[in-house]
């Protein structure tokens, strides 16, 4: 039996885009060219019809809450990706965000290329231009604000060997199952940073490749949302610094995040508990299996 390939999409209220993505992958890479063996959507209880649209377009859909029901639920993107390892079978796993507009199957083929053709490559990250929508106008660049303000400075300071990674927080990447099942997954939006640091720790820079997929158009989040995302990523970053001996923490990280909204006549405080959990490597969990016998 040859190498098998899984494409996995985590979803939360992405009915507007997920159907087109799934249909494109199925048409180009399953029907016309038999490259992808399995396409799975992990849905976080979307109420907008995301799961139905993904299923109608040809994906196998799992509800995140139904996978490992005996494990304490945490939620968030990273938890969905971690749980996907327990219901997918491919020897290679491609993760694709489900909010991409004008999706092209090159996202998948580009990510698979280095693993399939270059000896020793086990982990591949996409990079691209990030257009930014300002009103009705789509500016050619300006997206990726969390990357430029949080992730890139962090990597340059503490993991300079990863400074050349162009899009460290890209939600489009691929890896061998052997690698992905051996590393922990952080819940939430810190998952990409955690996987990058841990994957390279195991396979070295020679095992990493980057591919240019031109540009990625998606819904730009508000600064309020990006601030919460940054809080999750910083929690992940601090925990990985501590676990690798780069810093020593003398207190638990605070999980309460305070923000303020300008109401025009004053500021309204908002407080949220944002908890980041480090899930163990899938292969260490009871009942984990690589593939069906």
Q: Are strands 60-63 and 38-43 parallel, antiparallel or unpaired?
A: parallel
Supply the CATH number for residue 19's domain.
3.90.550.10
Give the pLDDT score at 276.
95
How would you list the strands of the sheet with 60-63, edge to edge?
Answer: 60-63, 38-43, 5-11, 92-95, 173-176, 123-129, 208-215
For 140-182, how does the pLDDT look when each residue is reduced to its tens digit (9 = 90+)?
Answer: 454 478 999 999 999 999 999 999 999 999 999 999 999 999 9
Residue 290 lies in a domain: no
Please enumerate in sequence order all residues whose Cβ is within 8 A of that of 212, keeping only pairs 6 or more positions apart, or say none: 110, 126, 127, 128
Residue 13 lies in a domain: yes
Give the pLDDT score at 293.
38
Residues 130/141, Cβ–Cβ less than 8 Å: yes
Domain of 200, in residue numbers: 5-221
Q: What is the 3-state secondary structure (H, E, C) of the chain?
A: CCCCEEEEEEECCCHHHHHHHHHHHHHHHHHHCCCCCEEEEEECCCCCCHHHHHHHHCCEEEEHHHCCCCCCCCCCHHHHHHHHCCCCCCCEEEECCCCEECCCCHHHHHHHHHHHHCCCCCEEEEEEECCEEECCEEECCCCCHHHHHHHHHHHHHHCHHHCCCCCCCCCCEEEEHHHHCCCCEECHHHHHHHHHHHHHHHHCHHHEEEEEEEECEECCCCHHHHHHHHHHHHHHHHHHHHHCCCCCCCCCCCCEEEEEEECCCCEEEEEEECCCCEECCHHHCCCCCCCCC
Q: How far is CA 192 from CA 12, 53, 97, 170, 180, in A?
A: 17, 26, 12, 7, 12
How far, in Å, CA of 240 to CA of 18, rounded?
Answer: 32
Residue 64 lies in a domain: yes
Half-sphere exposure of 192 (CA within 13 A, CB side): 26
Q: Which residues of the chain have pLDDT under 50?
A: 138-140, 142-143, 291-293
Residue 40 lies in a domain: yes
Give the pLDDT score at 142.
47
Residue 248 lies in a domain: no
The crossing angle, in degrees rounded to 10, of helices 191-203 and 77-84 is 50
Give the pLDDT score at 289.
75
Q: Residue 143's closest CA among 181, 165, 114, 169?
A: 169
Residue 155 lies in a domain: yes
Residue 292 lies in a domain: no
Give the pLDDT score at 132.
58
Residue 278 lies in a domain: no
For 217-239, how does the pLDDT look when each residue is reduced to its tens digit (9 = 90+)?
Answer: 656 668 888 999 999 999 999 99
Tally of structural domains, the chain: 1
How far, in Å, CA of 234 to CA of 179, rounded?
Answer: 24
């Amino acid at each position: 039996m040859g190498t098998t390939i899984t494409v996995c999409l985590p979803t939360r209220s992405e009915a507007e885009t997920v159907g087109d993505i799934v249909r494109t992958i199925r048409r180009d890479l399953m029907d016309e060219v038999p490259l992808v063996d399995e396409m799975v959507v992990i849905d976080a209880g979307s109420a907008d019809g995301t799961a139905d649209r993904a299923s109608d377009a040809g994906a196998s859909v799992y509800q995140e809450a139904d996978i490992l029901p005996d494990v304490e639920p945490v939620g968030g993107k990273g938890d969905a990706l971690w749980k996907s390892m327990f219901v997918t079978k491919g020897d290679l796993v491609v993760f694709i965000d489900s909010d991409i507009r004008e999706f092209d199957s090159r996202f998948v083929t580009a990510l698979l290329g280095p693993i399939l053709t270059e000896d020793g490559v086990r982990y591949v990250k996409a990079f691209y231009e990030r257009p930014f929508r300002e009103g009705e106008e789509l500016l050619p660049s300006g997206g990726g604000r969390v990357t430029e303000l949080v992730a890139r400075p962090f990597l340059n300071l503490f993991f300079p060997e990863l400074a050349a990674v162009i899009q460290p927080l890209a939600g489009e990447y691929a890896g061998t199952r052997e690698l992905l099942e051996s590393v922990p997954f952080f819940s939430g939006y810190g998952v990409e940073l955690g996987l990058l640091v841990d994957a390279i720790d195991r396979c070295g820079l020679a095992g990493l490749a980057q591919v240019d997929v031109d540009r990625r158009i998606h819904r730009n989040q508000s600064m309020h949302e990006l601030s919460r995302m940054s809080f999750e990523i910083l929690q992940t970053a601090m925990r990985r610094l501590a676990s690798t001996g780069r810093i020593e923490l003398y207190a638990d990280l605070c999980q309460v995040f305070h923000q303020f909204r300008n109401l025009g006549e004053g500021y309204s405080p908002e407080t949220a508990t944002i908890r980041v959990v480090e899930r163990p490597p899938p292969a260490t969990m009871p009942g984990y299996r690589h593939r069906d016998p």
